[in-house]
Homo-oligomer: A and B are copies of this chain.
Amino acid sequence: MSVPSRRVSVDLGARSYEIAIGEGLLDDPTLLRSWLRGREVCLVSNETLAPRYFPRIQALLPPDARVSHFTMGDGERFKSFETLTALLDTLLAERHSRATTLIAIGGGVVGDLTGFAAAVYQRGVAFIQVPTTLLAQVDSSIGGKTAVNHPRGKNMIGAFHQPEGVLIDTACLKTLPERELQAGLAEVIKYGAMHDADFFAWLEANMGVLLAREGDALGEAIARSCQAKAEVVAADEREGGARALLNLGHTFGHAMETHTGYGPWLHGEAVGAGMVLAADLSARLGLLPWADAARVKALVAAAGLPVMGPEGMAPEAYLDLMALDKKVIDGRLRLVLLSALGTGVVRDDVPLVALRETLERGPALCQSPT
């Protein structure tokens, strides 16, 4: 039995791979088996998802596979060096060789941590992404960025390591909490804003059906998001240039997440509010019409996402945390802004006074000051 699916290719030479998107893909063993490198497998998930998914994935594996299981805590705070060490200890204790394949089942936390473990276990083994949240399906499972957090900053320790394949079953989204669905839509909106103006307009027209989890609309939104990300990543695997545009809203967002200590704010929520700040700053610098900045804010709001950062977070707190962000090179803060709806641009010459004005603006963000 083979389930019909949309396919997106990530073209990276010898490290190319496919993303398969479809309803019911987790009932079909074909793809998963074709991506295994050997007969050793380690399933990785969190305590919430493991009971639901481990038996289903195990049923897809070849009968002679030697399978280990690793269950981590549920939440961003478990994307840590400690969890990484525990997973590596398990692989060693259960004598996994270089021919093993790790399968990450869950959201971005599980995927990023599992991918990083695969990157460094015996200097690199295979892994497969089975993202179960919208955020992971459209963003973190694609592109090979893996990492753990550090108390001093998010994703500070990591590696580039591409999966063997990404398996997206849209049926997983039926049980996703509302707030996580909305958080995923932040990244979906991002692809429209920084890469694809037509898709942005499509999202303005379809946000209602997406929030209602209408199957075909979700499949379309995921496939177009994956396509956008695959195009950017194929052009720039290691973030020398175009890939930086994927960070629209993220430098602001990471500051919010670090400030609140990872957890109270979902990543997508911080990115949503961060995009509103980026749109305001873009308009303030004369790059983007204020009316388009207002469309960004309106679409973020329509997805049910916050349009302002955490209450009481002072501009100085942003500036301090942003100075440690990975996008700082030789002391210059690089920010992704919009030069039009559908076109991101990296700037490292943003005047501090303009940045501070945007950070102080609060509810008036994205409204023309005149």
Query: Could you say how many copies of this chain the assembly holds?
Result: 2
A85 to B, closest residue via Cβ: B81
Nearest CB of B to A250, in Å: 14
A92-136 at interface with B (beta carbon < 8 Å): 92-93, 95, 97-99, 116, 119-124
Among B98, B121, B157, contact of A157 (Cβ-Cβ < 8 Å): B121
User: Which chain B positions have C-beta within 8 A of A172?
Assistant: none
Among B97, B123, B147, contact of A147 (Cβ-Cβ < 8 Å): B123
Among B81, B120, B155, contact of A158 (Cβ-Cβ < 8 Å): B120
Say yes or no for A253: interface residue by CB 8 A criterion.
no
Nearest CB of B to A115, in Å: 11
Nearest CB of B to A143, in Å: 11
Interface residue tally of chain A, by bracket? 35 or more
A238 to B, closest residue via Cβ: B124
User: Which chain B positions have C-beta within 8 A of A160?
Assistant: 123-124
Say yes or no for A39: interface residue by CB 8 A criterion.
yes
A331 to B, closest residue via Cβ: B97
Asked if A156 contacts B329 (CB within 8 A), the reply is no
Binds B, one of A211-219, A320-328, A346-354: A320-328
A123-B147, A160-B123 known; A153-B92 Cβ under 8 A: yes
Say yes or no for A145: interface residue by CB 8 A criterion.
yes
Asked if A93 contacts B152 (CB within 8 A), the reply is yes
Say yes or no for A88: interface residue by CB 8 A criterion.
yes
Asked if A123 contacts B158 (CB within 8 A), the reply is yes
User: Which chain B positions have C-beta within 8 A of A97?
Assistant: 326, 328-331
Binary CB contact string for chain A from 62 to 92 against chain B (1 if under 8 A, 0 otherwise): 0000000000000000000100010011001
A326 to B, closest residue via Cβ: B122
Binary CB contact string for chain A from 147 to 163 against chain B (1 if under 8 A, 0 otherwise): 10010110111111000
Sample (22) of A-B pairs whose CB atoms are under 8 Å apart: A40-B330, A81-B85, A88-B150, A88-B156, A89-B150, A89-B152, A92-B150, A92-B153, A95-B323, A95-B324, A97-B326, A97-B329, A97-B331, A98-B329, A99-B330, A120-B120, A120-B157, A120-B158, A121-B156, A122-B326, A123-B159, A124-B238
Q: What are the 5 closest A-B residue pairs judged by CB atoms, nearest first?
A: A92-B152, A123-B158, A99-B329, A122-B326, A97-B328
